[in-house]
Every structure is written in structure tokens, then in C-alpha cells.
């Protein structure tokens, strides 16, 4: 696959687009990029039009001094859908991308066909200590010492050594290594810190969508979670499922925070079945008003 690029508000945004069929928008997590989906994107593209962008500050997209909040990211993916001529999509968000997907659903409900949350942020306080540490005062001065071009080379060498020894790196190792690798770039580090501080503080996640999950009542929603996620506990998925009566919960046995790395075939099968078995949401202001008044 070769990335494509579009100019949004004078800045380059990179994305992959492949396939034909009902649109799927894949939204990656913090410090990651569209490459995180490479183990599942070709298979998903056999039945869908798949678009996987690099969020602002990530991957090959621009890394300006700008808005790195979930709302800012949600507006950016809305603008990308407009530019690509896709009026509505099933939005699949992983980790931070799940929080962005929920914000997209809140801001632009008319453009949401279905909501898929994969080991998603924004559903409880608990999160890994590393992400909390990024919000501490002075983190922007410490990170350049920790994530250098030399450390990037060491991480790649370790990954290569594991493969040469005949072992397959776990989904967590692959996903985390790629995320840390990106932080050797100064622009990516700045974006990482701004993004982390927009949703976290030293105590954990401070942006919590649970009080608004009832608004998803008319939206087909799938929660997919790794059984052994060390970064965002599976209890967040179970609680969200309880708060979303019409949602579907799938816990992937043995998987970690990156279930599409641990079990790509199972991930594709679950997602494809969910799209095939559900009808796109038809949300308008009247329905939203009815839900708001019902609480």
C-alpha cells in the first residue's frame, strides 16, 4: 500500500485508502499511525472502502502547533471524509482513537453509520503509568533524553532480534515499539505531550464519555477488547456495554491492547460480521433531542 495525501487547512494529511463497499474509517491511537492497521486493512478492504488516516501530529501528517484535543481530531476526520466524498462511515477507533470516535459521534452524528471501540480510551480513569507520566510538569524536557535516534535504533534492533530468534513479537510488543519509535521525532513528541495532556492528568484519564453513552442508543455499536489489555482494563468495556443497552461486546481471548495484531483474522471476522448484520444509523436532531430530554 502507498499512502495518499490531501491538504486540509493548508496542512498535509496522510492516509491509506483501499477497497470498495461500505466505508470504514480506522482511527489509530496516541503516538501511533495508520500503519498500525496494516495486518487487517487489506482483508477489510475486500468488502469495504477502508480509509486509515494519520491524525494530525502523527505519522506522515503535519505536526503543527495546534489543537490536539479529541474534538479537534474529530473535526479533522470529518473534514477528511468531506474531501474524500464519503458522507457517512463506520468509525473504528483504537485507544485514543476510540475517544476520538466517540467525540466524532457526538459532534457529527449525521455522519456516523456505526461506532466500533477497540480497547478505547475515554471510558474510565484507569490507564497505563507511562501515559500518566507524560502529563507531569517537565515531561517535555525529559522525553528528548529518553527518545533519541539511538533509542529508535535500539528498539528496531530488539524487534529484529526477536524475529531472527524465531519468535513472533506479541501484539503489545509490536504496537508499543512502533509508538515509542515515533517519539524520536521532535514534532511527534510535542504532539504526543499536547494530546496526552488534553485527555489525561497524573491521576489518569480525565475525559470520560460515560455520562453521554446513552446518546448512542440508536447507533449500532461494537466494543472489542483484548482480554489481557495492560493499558486500559477490560472492565472499561464491560461497564460501557452495560451503559449502552444496544451495544455488542466481544472480548478477544489472550489478546492485549492491540487485538488486531494478536488475532487479525478474528478481528476482521468480527468487524465484518458486525457491519453485515447491522443497518447504518439514521440520526437527526429530533432523535437527539428526544434522548436528551429522556434523561
Looking at the chain, the whole-number percentage of residues with pLDDT higher than 70 is 85
Q: Is the dihedral of CA 239, 280, 17, 80 positive or negative?
A: negative
Task: Identify the pLDDT of residue 291.
Answer: 82
Mean pLDDT of 33-43: 95
What is the arithmetic mean of pLDDT over 102-120? 95
- Check residues 143 and 88 and name the one with the higher pLDDT: 88
164-214 per-position pLDDT tens digit:
544 455 666 676 667 667 677 788 888 888 888 888 878 888 888 888 888
Mean predicted lDDT score pLDDT of the chain: 86
Q: Is the pLDDT of residue 119 over 80?
A: yes
What is the average pLDDT across 121-135? 81
Q: Which of 14, 34, 95, 247 is catalytic?
A: 95
Q: Assess whether pLDDT exceeds 70 at residue 13.
A: yes
Asked if the model's pLDDT at residue 140 lies above 90, the reply is no
Domain boundaries along the sequence of the chain: 4-294
Task: Note the pLDDT of residue 170.
Answer: 61
Question: Known catalytic residue: 20?
Answer: no
Q: Return the CATH fold of 4-294.
A: Rossmann fold (3.40.50)
Predicted pLDDT at 162: 43
Query: Does residue 194 have an active-site annotation?
Result: no
Neighbour count for residue 154 (Cβ, 10 Å): 12
Separation CA 84–CA 214 (nearest Å): 30
Half-sphere exposure of 91 (CA within 13 A, CB side): 32
pLDDT of 145: 46
Average pLDDT over residues 281-292: 83
Which helix (H) or strand (E) segment is 89 a member of?
A: strand 89-94
Active site residue 229: yes
- Give the confidence band of 263 by pLDDT, cuts at 50, 70, 90: very high
pLDDT greater than 90 at residue 221: yes
Per-residue pLDDT at 178: 73
Q: What is the CB neighbour count within 10 angstroms for residue 138?
A: 7
* Section 72-96 average pLDDT: 96
Instruction: Output the pLDDT for position 136.
Output: 73
Tell me which of 124 and 89 has the higher pLDDT. Answer: 89
Q: Which of 54, 119, 229, 263 is catalytic?
A: 229
Dist. CA 264–CA 262, nearest whole Å: 6
| CA terminus-to-terminus distance, the chain | 46
Q: Is the pLDDT of residue 159 over 50?
A: no
Amino acid at each position: 500500500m502507498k499512502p495518499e495525501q490531501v491538504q486540509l487547512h493548508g496542512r498535509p494529511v496522510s492516509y491509506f485508502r483501499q477497497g470498495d463497499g461500505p466505508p470504514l474509517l480506522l482511527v489509530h491511537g496516541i503516538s501511533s499511525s495508520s500503519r498500525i492497521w496494516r495486518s487487517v486493512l487489506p482483508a477489510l478492504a475486500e468488502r469495504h472502502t477502508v480509509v486509515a488516516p494519520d491524525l494530525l501530529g502523527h505519522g506522515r501528517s503535519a505536526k503543527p502547533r495546534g489543537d490536539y484535543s479529541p474534538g479537534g481530531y474529530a473535526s479533522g476526520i470529518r473534514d477528511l471524509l468531506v474531501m474524500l466524498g464519503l458522507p457517512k462511515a463506520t468509525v473504528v477507533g483504537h485507544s485514543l482513537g476510540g475517544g476520538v470516535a466517540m467525540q466524532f459521534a457526538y459532534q457529527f452524528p449525521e455522519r456516523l453509520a456505526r461506532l466500533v471501540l477497540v480497547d478505547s480510551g475515554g471510558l474510565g480513569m484507569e490507564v497505563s503509568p507511562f501515559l500518566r507520566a507524560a502529563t507531569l510538569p517537565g515531561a517535555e524536557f525529559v522525553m528528548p533524553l529518553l527518545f533519541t535516534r539511538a533509542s529508535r535504533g535500539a528498539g528496531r534492533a530488539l524487534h529484529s532480534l526477536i524475529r531472527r530468534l524465531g519468535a513472533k513479537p506479541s501484539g503489545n510488543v509490536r504496537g508499543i515499539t512502533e509508538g515509542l519509535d515515533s517519539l524520536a521525532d521532535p514534532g511527534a513528541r510535542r504532539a504526543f505531550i499536547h494530546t496526552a495532556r488534553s485527555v489525561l492528568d497524573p491521576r489518569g484519564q480525565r475525559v470520560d464519555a460515560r455520562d453521554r453513552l446513552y446518546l448512542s442508543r440508536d447507533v449500532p455499536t461494537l466494543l472489542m477488547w483484548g482480554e489481557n489489555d495492560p493499558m486500559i482494563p477490560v472492565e472499561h468495556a464491560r461497564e460501557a456495554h452495560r451503559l449502552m443497552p444496544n451495544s455488542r461486546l466481544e472480548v478477544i481471548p489472550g489478546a492485549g491492547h492491540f487485538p488486531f495484531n494478536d488475532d487479525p483474522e478474528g478481528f476482521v471476522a468480527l468487524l465484518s460480521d458486525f457491519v453485515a448484520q447491522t443497518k447504518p444509523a439514521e440520526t437527526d436532531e429530533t432523535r437527539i433531542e428526544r434522548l436528551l430530554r429522556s434523561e
